[in-house]
Amino acid sequence: MLRLHILSNETKSARHFFKLPVRYMASIASSSSVPPAIFARGSGGRSSFSGVIATVFGSTGFLGRYVVNQLGRVGSQVIATWRGDELDARHLKPMGDLGQIIPFEIELRHHESLRKSMENSNVVINLLGKNYSTRYYSLYDVHVTASRTIAQIAKEVGVEHFIHISSIGADKNSQSEFLRTKALGEEAVRDAFPSATIIRPCDMFGDEDNLINRACIIAKTFPFIPLVKDGKSKLQPVWCNDIAMVIRRASQDPEMFLGKTFELGGTKVYTIREFYEWILAETKLPNNFQVLPHRVAEMILFFAEKRIPIFNPDPKYTRDHLIRETSDMIVTCKNGELTFADIDAVPHDFDSDIAKEVTKLYRRAGDASELYYR
C-alpha cells in the first residue's frame, strides 16, 4: 500500500510539473493582444506554423488550389471557402498538415457566413472571378459587389492584410465587361480597405487553365483557327504557381506589400498568332489560320457563348473573350505598378516543360507524339 501511495504522489507531482509551462504560456497570452495560436513556430515547413491564418475566397477555382498549396506547404492555416458542392473543396485538404486546411461553406449574399469565415483570420485573399454572367450572379455581382462586401467585413473584424486579385488590362473605360468590372472592383476594395494589396496577373497557364486548354480545343475541333486583327494583339503568359508564390509571400510579409499594386506577367511577350503557332507545334495538329473580320467573329460567338445544358454548360469562348484577345494584355506599369523584379522574383518561361505538359492530352499520338511527328 505504501508503494502505491508513493506512486500516486509522484504522479501528482509530475502532473503539476508539466502544467507549469501551460500556465506560463497562458499568462503570456493573457497579457498579449496576440492570440497564442498565431505565434509562428517550427522550422518553416508543412508541419510548422507560419503565423498566417488565411481565409481564401475562390479557393476551389483554378488559381485557388495553387494558392492553398503554397500556403499549406509553409504551415499556414487556411479557411478554404466554398459554395455549391462540398466535394469541390475535398482536394484541398491534403495540401496542408492535418487540420490546417479547413473547408468552410459560404454564400456571397449571406454576410454572416462571410463574417464567420474571416473573424479569426489575419489575412484575407480574394480570388473570386467569373468569365461570363449567369442567372444568379453577374460579373458586376462577383467582381464589384462581392469584393466590396468582403473587404468591408474584413476591415470590420480586424483583418490585418487584404490581398485582392484583379486582372491585367483592368480599365473602367474598357469595352470588355470583365475588364471594366475588375477595375471597378479594385476601386471598391481600395475604398473599403485602403492598405489592400492588388495583384493584376496576365493570362495564366497551368494544368487546368483556360488559356492553353482552350487554344488546344480550338486547334483540335475547329476547321481553322480564327484570327482577328491578323493575330497581332499581344499576351504575356505567366505560370499560375508564380502568381500563387507572390500571394504567399504577401501573406507572410505584409509590410512589403501593403497598399501596393502589382502587374505580373511572364518572361516573354507573344502575339496571338505566335501563341497559336506554338500550340500547333507542340500538339502536331494539322490546322491553319483564317483571318476573320471582327464583326463576323462576333456573330459566330453570339451563338457559341450561349449556355445550353448538356451541350454547352460552360462556354469557353465568348464575345468578351474576343475583346480581350484583340487587346494587348501585357504588363505596362503605366501608373507605377510593381512587377516580379521589385520583389526579386523571376517567373518561369512559357516555352518550358510546364506548359508543354498541358498540351500532351491533345497531341495526335499522345505523350509519344514527338517520336512519330517531327
* Domain-embedded: residue 169: yes
* Domain-embedded: residue 304: no
Q: Cα–chain-centroid distance for residue 370?
A: 33
Q: What pLDDT is recorded for position 222? A: 87
Q: What pLDDT is recorded for position 121? A: 96
Which residues contact residue 128 at a Cβ distance below 8 angstroms, ignoring those fewer than 6 apart?
57, 58, 142, 143, 146, 147, 150
Instruction: State the average pLDDT over residues 107-128.
Output: 96
Residue 207 and residue 173 in contact, taking contact as beta carbons nearer than 8 Å: no
Q: What pLDDT is recorded for position 48? A: 84
Instruction: Choose the weakest-confidence range: 80-94, 98-112, 355-369.
Output: 355-369
Q: What is the DSSP letter of 348?
A: P
Instruction: State the average pLDDT over residues 145-172.
Output: 97
Q: What pLDDT is recorded for position 12? A: 43
* Domain-embedded: residue 78: yes
- pLDDT tens, 232-287? 999 999 999 999 999 999 999 999 999 999 999 999 999 999 999 999 999 988 88
Residue span of the structural domain in which 115 resides: 37-205+237-266+332-348
Instruction: State the average pLDDT over residues 94-115.
Output: 94
Secondary structure E strands in the chain = 53-57, 77-82, 101-105, 123-126, 161-165, 197-201, 204-205, 225-228, 234-235, 238-239, 261-264, 270-271, 289-292
3-state SS assignment for residue 87: helix
Query: Which grid coordinates are listed for 234?
Result: 499581344
pLDDT exceeds 50 at position 45: yes
Q: Which residue has the higher pLDDT, 64 or 34?
A: 64
* Domain-embedded: residue 200: yes
For residue 20, name the pLDDT band (cuts at 50, 70, 90). very low
- pLDDT tens, 328-340? 999 999 999 999 9
Distance separating alpha carbons of residues 59 and 67, to the nearest angstrom: 8
Q: Are strands 225-228 and 289-292 parallel, antiparallel or unpaired?
A: parallel
- pLDDT tens, 282-328? 998 888 999 999 999 999 888 888 888 888 888 888 999 999 999 99
Instruction: State the average pLDDT over residues 101-111.
Output: 95
Q: Are strands 238-239 and 204-205 parallel, antiparallel or unpaired?
A: parallel
* Domain-embedded: residue 46: yes
Instruction: State the average pLDDT over residues 15-36.
Output: 38
* Domain-embedded: residue 48: yes
CATH number at residue 54: 3.40.50.720
Choose among 72, 114, 117: nearest CA to 91: 72
Instruction: State the average pLDDT over residues 2-24.
Output: 41
- pLDDT tens, 189-231? 999 999 999 999 999 999 999 999 999 999 998 889 999 999 9
The one-letter code for the residue type at 108 is: L
pLDDT exceeds 60 at position 56: yes
Distance separating alpha carbons of residues 76 and 97, to the nearest angstrom: 9
Distance separating alpha carbons of residues 283 and 355, to the nearest angstrom: 12
Identify the sign of the CA torsion 259, 242, 231, 297. negative
Choose among 172, 175, 278: nearest CA to 225: 278
Instruction: State the average pLDDT over residues 131-159.
Output: 95
Q: What pLDDT is recorded for position 307? A: 85
Which residues contact residue 58 at a Cβ distance below 8 angstroms, ignoring those fewer than 6 apart?
64, 81, 126, 127, 128, 129, 165
Distance separating alpha carbons of residues 358 and 224, to the nearest angstrom: 21
Residue 37 and residue 122 in contact, taking contact as beta carbons nearer than 8 Å: no
Q: Cα–chain-centroid distance for residue 73?
A: 16
pLDDT exceeds 70 at position 373: no
Residue 189 and residue 152 in contact, taking contact as beta carbons nearer than 8 Å: no
Number of H helices, E strands in the chain: 14, 13
Q: What pLDDT is recorded for position 38? A: 54
Instruction: State the average pLDDT over residues 5-20.
Output: 41
* Domain-embedded: residue 292: no
Residue 213 and residue 283 in contact, taking contact as beta carbons nearer than 8 Å: no
- Domain tally, the chain: 1
Q: What pLDDT is recorded for position 219? A: 92
Residue 28 and residue 36 in contact, taking contact as beta carbons nearer than 8 Å: yes
Q: Which residue has the higher pLDDT, 6 or 58?
A: 58
* Domain-embedded: residue 150: yes
pLDDT exceeds 60 at position 125: yes
Tell me what the pLDDT averaged over the chain comes to.
87
Q: Cα–chain-centroid distance for residue 367?
A: 28
